[in-house]
Amino acid sequence: MCTRPTHFARQTISSRLFLWSVGDGIKCKFKPPSYHKNRRVNYFRPGSKSAGKGSIDLSFQRRDLLMEIAPRTRNSWKKRVATFVGGDTGIWRVTNTKAVAGPPLKSVDRIEVVEGNLAALPSGGKWLIRGVTSNDRYTTRKEHEMLLSRQPALGRPEATHAALIPITKSESWWQLSQSERRGIFETRSGHIRVGLKYLPAIARRLYHCRDLGEPFDFLTWFEYAPANADAFEELVSILRQSEEWRYVEREIDIRLAREIST
């Protein structure tokens, strides 16, 4: 099942299996329709020399197959996208903003989290950043299952504190292979091991932005109760001292408090 937006994909073809190489080493597999298994069918590119001779124009076949597949997956990313709007509206009040690395964002009073894709900045907004949820990149199956079993849901009543941390990594990071990034991310930096220690106290959701043309590569959203504020400070401090953070060239740390309706 494809878990990344396929309109950012690059097509490769191997026998009767179509592989779409999607950013960061992820692949999606599609089996062609049954009529493509028979190479001698009445299926031609109009005007080709082979028309009417029972042969097949493979370039036309591939193009037609892509047109058939695309409607199923082209807009799937829109169901997993969120838009963070910085401005003067929203239930999350900004309590502190710090540019940890690189240039800051414009100062705002509130952040509104919209489940969906906003194409334009709404009235009262100063900036918006979009991200899409996706599959885990660098986890083993055991790590993935541990994260799923311990990760709490967002929106817990007691979790009235939050942090939005947009991050951009350097080009040298993206030039590394998937296995090299895994080695830095977990083997040497212990990103997953560290994070597991703070579950379920601190809820987290990661959004990917790099393939959406946003100014950041990732948005990490955290929610926690005021009683766990010190634990959150400890978590981000440990991560920022790791080898992985040598590849971070821009990071904004925005702290928030949720307005409680009366």
Quick one: residue 6, left, alpha or beta (phi over 0 = left, psi -120 to 50 = alpha)?
A: alpha
pLDDT at 4: 42
- DSSP 8-state class, residue 177: -
What tokens appear for 50 in the block? 């082979």
Q: What is the mean pLDDT of the chain?
A: 78
Question: What DSSP line would sit under 6-55, residue for residue?
Answer: GGG-EEEEETTEEEEEETTTEEEEEPPPGGGT-SSSSB--TT-TTTTTT-
What are residue 222's DSSP bridge partners?
A: 163, 204
Tell me the pLDDT tens digit for each residue of 10-33. Answer: 333 333 333 333 344 444 444 444
| HSE toward the beta carbon, residue 8, CA cutoff 13 A | 18
Tell me the pLDDT tens digit for each residue of 63-110. Answer: 454 445 445 555 666 678 999 999 999 999 999 999 999 999 999 999
Lowest mean pLDDT among 2-6, 147-151, 165-169, 213-217: 2-6
Using CA atoms, how far residue 188 sits from 1, 113, 156, 244, in Å, is 31, 34, 33, 8
Full-model pTM? 0.70
Lowest mean pLDDT among 1-10, 129-138, 159-168, 231-240: 1-10
List of domains in the chain: 6-74 (no CATH), 77-258 (3.30.70.3420)
**Quick one: which of 95, 134, 99 has its CA closest to 111?**
95
Report the pLDDT averaged over residues 235-240: 96
